[in-house]
Chains A and B, each alone.
Chain A
Amino acid sequence: MDFWATLYVFVLASFIGLGVIRKVSRLLYTPLMSLTNAISAIAVVGSILVTGGDYPLRIRVLGAIALFASMTNIVSGFLITNRMLKMFKTGDHRGDPSTSSGSSQARSRGDGNRS
């Protein structure tokens, strides 16, 4: 294992992160959080290796639980980010009867009435 190469990647990636995140629109901080969360759930690759490898049962059980947890983050993270981003519209697009945003809105209104 090349210690220095991995450290190098970490430092450079952090600077890319700083540069990119600083430019993210302030409007989108909530979706940003769910998006980065889904992205960092790429830790799923580690769980796949542990779960699928030829290892003792107890090791693979740990891997499978981790795989489930990461997969939950990937699925819910990307879906909810997309759902939130769909809601951001400029004034020009208002009243745009695109069916997808209409249905998501109808659903959330339903939620509001229930409480």
Chain B
Amino acid sequence: MMFAIGQLAYIVASVCFIFALHWMNTPATARKGVYAGVAGTTIAVVVTWAEPTVIHHVWIVLAIAAGFVVGVPLSMVPLTAVPQRTALSHAFGGLAAGLVGSAEYYLQVSENPGNLTAFRMVALIAEVILGYLTFTGSLMAAGKLQEVKWIPQRPVTYPLQNVINLLLIGVALALGAALTLHPTAGWAPALFPVVIVLALLFGILLIIPIGGADMPTVIAILNSYAGLSAVAMGFVLDSKLLITAGALDGTSGLILAIIMCKAMNRSFTNVLFGAFGQVQQAKAAGEQKVYKPETPEGAAQILDQSSLVVIIPGYGMAVAQAQHKVRELYDQLKKRGITVKFAIHPVAGRMPGHMNVLLAEADIPYTDLVEMDDINRDMPQADVALVVGANDVVNPAARSDKASPIYGMPIIDADKARTVFAIKRSKNPGFAGIDNELYFSDRTWMLFGDAKNVIGELVKELAGGSGMH
């Protein structure tokens, strides 16, 4: 009877999770999704805790309390820090899977060696390798995103990098296979930690060569790994709830990673093993290109006379924390009856959907956030394209220059607007180290300075000028 109730509860929890994701299909119902998720989790935790084999409660209470103590502050980070929080949570997910896998192995070896069937060992090894590599890989990603000092921001490459990585994971898999064949041999419990160490090392080395512009894809891939490690745990523990929840997480990460890759016109292998973000050797410039600078006064005048303004945000907006100033600019333009749209490139920022969240935080209606494909149709009608901290996603070289590393990447056609204003902190090239010919186009004027300050100036000009109308 208890068994039936427990199983039924797990089914209900699984259904809750599926509904949680289903309700994410529109912002209008999305919050219901959170409640469904909380309900499913609560049901599953309570039912599991009530199992007769669970007899020590103090540690459970302490660990849950500690989870709240750390989890609540982590949920209150500024939205610009959401990518690193997400990476950190993948690290926690991987760690949990790795630890439970390790505990399960040592438990079965000493108590029920018969339980270590080949199938369960395969699942266990998968759980442990995926879990630990996700742990260190995500920590590295979080460190890079947080710009921790001793973790290099720029991609680190060295000779035979990919060979060494593949060798490392190959050895780990081979040792895993040996453990699967002889899980209870005398040497097995000593070999197990070696697999763990190799997985930990592989996670670090996998992320070292990856640069900031590739983070959206990498975070999505790590998300998928974290989900798959939960699936493997489900196989080990024979829990269909875990398998379902892990599969939902795994496929979600996978789909996001595919979308990110498509938005950069690159393949998985290229992202993971291509070391894209290396500084490109500057081409010997035959002619010195010159930027045409513009003052906020001049830019404000042109904005004032437009009827359609498209704002193209990028990671620079997040760095400068400029989203609230952007909202003030949006209000100023709206007040004049000007249509303002935001053009969102799928890989703008450091994680999928990063720009949407930042702009929503600044209280900009999500109905004005437009996807790349839709906005590109309107770009020729735009009077002004205002580029705020975006670079590679508006670089026309992606369309025309076969030699460019971003050739073939779909971009937002900022250059088709009548006038382009680009806000740029300095005259250096962008994150990928590629020159942006948009900045040298006849229609483009540069506004140099911190995005927050420059937009603040524009708002001041517009607000001051509005009295004269």
Residues of A within 8 A of B (CB): 1-3, 5-6, 9-10, 13-14, 16-18, 20-56, 58-60, 62-91, 93-94, 105, 107-109, 111-112, 115
Chain B stretch 230-271: residues in CB contact (< 8 A) with chain A: 230-231, 233-253, 255-256
Greatest chain B CB density within 10 A among A9, A82, A91, A109 is at A9
Q: Which of B60, B250, B252 contacts A67 (CB 8 A)?
A: B60
The chain B residue sitting closest to A81, CB to CB, is: B34
Chain B neighbourhood of A2, CB < 8 A:
238
Known contacts A13-B243, A24-B24, A40-B227: A51-B44 contact under CB 8 Å: no
Chain B neighbourhood of A6, CB < 8 A:
234-235, 238, 240, 243
Interface contact B352-A30, CB-CB below 8 Å: yes
Q: CA A27 – CA B254 in complex, angstroms?
A: 17
Chain A neighbourhood of B307, CB < 8 A:
none
Additional A-B contacts beyond A56-B110, A91-B367 (18; CB < 8 A): A9-B244, A13-B14, A14-B250, A21-B255, A29-B256, A33-B352, A39-B248, A41-B93, A44-B45, A48-B54, A51-B59, A55-B103, A62-B102, A69-B93, A70-B96, A72-B92, A74-B67, A88-B27
B413 CB to nearest chain A CB (Å):
19
Interface contact B21-A46, CB-CB below 8 Å: no
Q: CA A24 – CA B23 in complex, angstroms?
A: 8
Tell me, yes or no, whether B72 is within 8 Å of chain A by CB: yes
The chain A residue sitting closest to B115, CB to CB, is: A1
Known contacts A21-B251, A84-B79, A90-B366: A53-B48 contact under CB 8 Å: no
Interface contact A26-B247, CB-CB below 8 Å: no
Interface contact A88-B366, CB-CB below 8 Å: yes
Q: Is the interface of A mostly helix, strand, loop or mixed?
A: helix
How many A-B residue pairs lie within 8 Å, measured between CB atoms?
A: 385
Tell me, yes or no, whether B302 is within 8 Å of chain A by CB: no
Known contacts A25-B26, A42-B245, A85-B27: A73-B100 contact under CB 8 Å: no
Q: What's the tally of chain B residues with a CB closer than 8 Å to chain A?
A: 116
Q: CA A43 – CA B241 in complex, angstroms?
A: 9
A106 CB to nearest chain B CB (Å):
11
Q: CA A75 – CA B37 in complex, angstroms?
A: 11
Q: Which of B18, B64, B367 contacts A90 (CB 8 A)?
A: B367
Interface contact A49-B26, CB-CB below 8 Å: no
Chain A neighbourhood of B68, CB < 8 A:
71, 75
Known contacts A50-B104, A75-B67: A30-B227 contact under CB 8 Å: no
Q: CA A6 – CA B238 in complex, angstroms?
A: 7
Interface contact A67-B17, CB-CB below 8 Å: no
The chain B residue sitting closest to A17, CB to CB, is: B251
Q: Which of B63, B230, B357, B368 contacts A31 (CB 8 A)?
A: B357
Tell me, yes or no, whether B82 is within 8 Å of chain A by CB: yes
Chain B stretch 291-320: residues in CB contact (< 8 A) with chain A: none
Interface contact A13-B248, CB-CB below 8 Å: yes
Known contacts A60-B56, A74-B41: A68-B24 contact under CB 8 Å: no
Q: Which of B37, B48, B245, B369 contacts A48 (CB 8 A)?
A: B48
Tell me, yes or no, whether B153 is within 8 Å of chain A by CB: no
Tell me, yes or no, whether B324 is within 8 Å of chain A by CB: yes
Chain A neighbourhood of B38, CB < 8 A:
78
Q: CA A4 – CA B389 in complex, angstroms?
A: 51
Q: CA A54 – CA B54 in complex, angstroms?
A: 7
A4 CB to nearest chain B CB (Å):
10
Chain B neighbourhood of A38, CB < 8 A:
37, 41
Interface contact A25-B25, CB-CB below 8 Å: yes
Greatest chain A CB density within 10 A among B31, B53, B110, B357 is at B357
A113 CB to nearest chain B CB (Å):
8
Q: CA A112 – CA B357 in complex, angstroms?
A: 15
Q: CA A85 – CA B228 in complex, angstroms?
A: 26
Chain B stretch 87-104: residues in CB contact (< 8 A) with chain A: 89-90, 92-93, 95-97, 99-100, 102-104
Residue pairs across A and B with Cβ atoms less than 8 A apart, 17 shown, are A1-B119, A1-B238, A27-B353, A29-B351, A36-B253, A37-B90, A39-B20, A42-B13, A43-B242, A48-B45, A50-B100, A62-B100, A68-B66, A76-B74, A79-B76, A80-B74, A87-B357
A67 CB to nearest chain B CB (Å):
4
Known contacts A20-B18, A37-B86, A47-B100: A64-B62 contact under CB 8 Å: yes
Q: CA A28 – CA B353 in complex, angstroms?
A: 6
Chain B neighbourhood of A71, CB < 8 A:
63-64, 66-68, 71
Interface contact B64-A67, CB-CB below 8 Å: yes
